[in-house]
Chain A
Amino acid sequence: MSDSAVKRTIDAIWRIESAKLIAGLTRMVRDVGLAEDLAQDALIVAMERWPAAGIPDNPGAWLMTTAKRRAIDLMRRSKVRERKYEELGRSSELYTEDDIDDALDGEVGDDLLRLIFMTCHPVLSQDARVALTLRLLGGLATDEIARAFFVAESTIAQRIVRAKRTLNASRVEFEVPAGDELKERLSTVLEVIYLMFNEGYTATSGGSWIRPLLCQEALRLGRVLAEIAPSEPEVHGLVALMEIQSSRFKTRVNAAGEPVLLMDQNRAQWDRLLIRRGLAALDRAQKLGWPLGPYALQAAISACHARARTAAETDWPRIAALYEALSRVMPSPVVELNRAVAISMAFGPAFGLQLVDALASEQALKDYHLLPSVRGDLLFKLERFGEAREQFERAASMTRNDKERGLLLRRAAECAVKEAGGGEPE
């Protein structure tokens, strides 16, 4: 193997092993920053030795042993952390190659779970949680994370350093929360993963945009979590939601970069493998218990679309019922607006319009362009073209997405033609 090939292989090994290494080392030294440094040091030793000596049979165990030796050296020299050193000394013979092999059966899975609860800890800001999780659980380099978020590398580097400092200063324990705390903390973890996914999936403003790395990493972390916390229904719910949404990755934007609405997407191009995985994950969530949580309900709604072979076959009454259930566990005007759309599709635009009109005074939707957009669509279907035009124009003035504005103005023009009693717009 050439040196550059060895280097690329080491990168790949790092991707596979780094989270397990850092998690295992954090358990030993109780300091996630130190654990990461030790793992990085071991990586540097590997880069020096492996090109000449060859890659060991069990690179994960090799890295762990090397990192642990360095930990012991460090403690011996500094003599500051007496207690930790003694603990390490006692456990130094415990972590053998067999342990690494067996580790996946239990201990390492548990360590990974502890680590993700730590990187998604509520003492950290939302941005810090995402960056630290990508770094420690995803094994991503700082520049990769910076590129994914379109920010400077130094910004991310600082964010990560501060996050590790905050965790230490707040004496955050390396543990899986128990009892009532578990539910709350788990929802924070799921929120971080879904935020990561959405960050990759949607463009917040300007031209439409998709950032695949974040979506892929969020989905991978979700799948890992489903393996190490298999009894949590919402974990499977979130995985189901991300798998099904990812199945439409290729069809949601056309060649010109414009968003394609769900109903207009080419269903033949949806990824059947991801749909199958999503439906299986949803099934697991449903088997683990009712009532369904917010992620499982959103996945169930997404699954209704995935199951429909054509847009016309969509089970709208079921979607409307699922939105109603969702509005009970996660009350929000946006969910209510979606329910109105589902009801109009199931039972006719007049029923939907009643619900949308009720939302008109909702303060939270004051700047939400989809409210007038949906209203305009329903009014158009009811052939109230003058009112529809006003709504589309209003929506166009509110959106920050250029492509969407163009679409809304075209619809307004279409209304104007109908209003004047004309036929198809030019």
Chain B
Amino acid sequence: MRFMMIVKGTKDSEAGIMPSQELLEAMLKYNEELAKAGVLLAADGLHASSQGIRISYPEPGGKPKVTDGPFTEAKEIIAGYTLIEVKSREEAIEWAMRMPDPHGKGEGVIELRQIIDPTDLTQNPETLAMEAAIREKMERANKP
């Protein structure tokens, strides 16, 4: 299963202030650790929302409305994300706990969200039923 670790924006990230050298190094090291465990799929930082664009649909069935950034409420803004592939929700949490505090000024928030995989074969009841049937057959065949 895939999870997205979303790093929320802060006053600094919105002001375009780069993180300290120390934090950059810690993040780099953390990403290396993810890569060496074979769980890292992608990681990117995003520009401040002042360079962002919002497309909204205020009228149901109406035309989209385009608004230029910046947007208010830093906590609702995404500053970066890391995609990981893990075997359980707990493993995702464990990795997220090991991420360095993304801002270090009491504003750090990491949100963990599972990516929807509609054809996730391990979750598909039909597939699971088929697997159970095959297993039963194999177990019978394995018996002397």
Chain A residues lying within 8 Å of B93, measured Cβ to Cβ, are 9, 12
- A223 proximal to B (CB < 8 A): yes
**B127 vs chain A, min Cβ distance (A):** 8
**B106 vs chain A, min Cβ distance (A):** 19
Query: What's the Cα separation between A15 and B86 when bound, in Å?
Result: 10
Query: What's the Cα separation between A224 and B40 when bound, in Å?
Result: 10
Q: Is the CB of A15 within 8 A of B122?
A: no
**Size range of the interface on B?**
20 to 34
Which of B12-20, B29-37, B54-62 faces chain A? B29-37
**A115 vs chain B, min Cβ distance (A):** 14
Which of B65-73, B74-82, B131-139 faces chain A? B131-139
Q: Is the CB of B38 within 8 A of A223?
A: yes
Chain B residues lying within 8 Å of A219, measured Cβ to Cβ, are 38
Q: A12-B94, A104-B33, A152-B142 are in contact. Are A220 and B85 (CB under 8 A)?
A: yes
Q: A104-B33, A220-B85 are in contact. Are A15 and B91 (CB under 8 A)?
A: yes
The list of the 10 closest CB pairs from A to B, nearest first, reads A12-B90, A220-B38, A223-B38, A12-B91, A224-B38, A150-B138, A8-B90, A227-B36, A12-B94, A250-B119
Chain A residues with CB under 8 Å of chain B are 8-9, 11-13, 15-16, 104, 109, 147, 150-152, 155, 207, 209-210, 212-213, 216, 219-224, 227-228, 250, 273, 277
Chain A residues lying within 8 Å of B139, measured Cβ to Cβ, are 152
Chain B residues lying within 8 Å of A277, measured Cβ to Cβ, are 41
- B87 proximal to A (CB < 8 A): yes
- B83 proximal to A (CB < 8 A): yes
Q: Is the CB of B94 within 8 A of A13?
A: yes
Query: What's the Cα separation between A104 and B88 when bound, in Å?
Result: 23
Q: A11-B88, A250-B119 are in contact. Are A273 and B94 (CB under 8 A)?
A: no
Specify which of A9, A155, A222 is in contact with B94 (CB 8 Å cutoff): A9
Within 8 A of A (CB), among B34-52: 35-42
Main secondary structure of the interface of B (DSSP, over half): helix
Question: Which of chain B's residues has its CB closest to A19's CB?
Answer: B37
Beyond known contacts A224-B36, A224-B38: 20 more, CB 8 A cutoff:
A9-B90, A11-B88, A13-B94, A15-B87, A15-B88, A16-B94, A104-B32, A150-B135, A151-B138, A152-B139, A152-B142, A155-B142, A209-B130, A212-B121, A216-B87, A220-B39, A222-B38, A227-B32, A228-B36, A273-B42
**B43 vs chain A, min Cβ distance (A):** 12
A-B contact pairs, 14 of them (CB 8 A): A12-B94, A104-B29, A104-B36, A109-B36, A155-B142, A209-B130, A210-B121, A212-B122, A216-B85, A219-B38, A220-B85, A221-B38, A224-B37, A224-B38
**B132 vs chain A, min Cβ distance (A):** 10
Q: Is the CB of A151 within 8 A of B142?
A: yes
Specify which of B40, B90, B119 is in contact with A11 (CB 8 Å cutoff): B90
Question: Which of chain A's residues has its CB closest to B88's CB?
Answer: A12
Query: What's the Cα separation between A220 and B39 when bound, in Å?
Result: 7
Q: Is the CB of A273 within 8 A of B41?
A: yes
Chain A residues lying within 8 Å of B85, measured Cβ to Cβ, are 216, 220
**B139 vs chain A, min Cβ distance (A):** 6
Query: What's the Cα separation between A277 and B39 when bound, in Å?
Result: 13
Chain B residues lying within 8 Å of A151, measured Cβ to Cβ, are 138, 142
**B140 vs chain A, min Cβ distance (A):** 11
Query: What's the Cα separation between A209 and B42 when bound, in Å?
Result: 29
Query: What's the Cα separation between A152 and B33 when bound, in Å?
Result: 35
Q: Is the CB of A16 within 8 A of B36?
A: no
